[in-house]
Structure 1
């Protein structure tokens, strides 16, 4: 059985993320969406909410599950029995950022990374842009799975971080 781990902060999960997960679900027996914390980022949504939103977004995919990452990603992969890390790429800058991590993960554990290019209809979608658009009162519901836009707007309102 082949298992792929698709890691990310998913803050919030977007249609771009979902595109990679759906395509990965067709390639692998199991895909684990690994919701991680990134020490370089200040999340808008807490981990539990990101896990719940991701789980709702992939509920129709029987071979996909969602779990939080509590330590090193390589340890998570080992515990999940993963053969592969699955990553989406929007362009060359994504590859520049992801390649050193892929090489380090392979060095540490032998886990390979498979890169899927973003679909052309979701190439422009990034969580940081989604949050920025929402902060300025823009419409994001066509960029994220159902219910995610409401969660983003609620989190921004709770922080006093939206403009009319």
Structure 2
């Protein structure tokens, strides 16, 4: 096969076509470069935003750790005081229960208590009242006292 040589009219059309293809390639190359530049800038902004978030959350974490430490320092004495008060409450509850049992025992009506109520009075309840009946003192002419 023999090669054909382009004629001059074909050559000018081919040159024009090549020039247009070169122009399209050049525009596409410029567009791709611009797109890559925008992509790099967007990625840099995203990385900067992530670094800002890291800084923000690191500071927030430090603040919260400090607050937790402060709360724990205030909580520990309160927790100890609460344990002491809980133990005291238990002790007082047991004492109250014991006293209630004693008062219920003393307040129960039984034969002995009704007998004691009728005949015996505690001397410290009414100390100004005599607990025994006075007996008159009999005197005799001889001066002997008889009771």
TM normalised by structure 2 equals: 0.15
TM normalised by structure 1 equals: 0.14
Which has more helix, going by share of residues? Answer: 2
Work out which of the two has the higher radius of gyration on C-alpha atoms and give 1 or 2: 2
Which has more strand, going by share of residues? Answer: 1
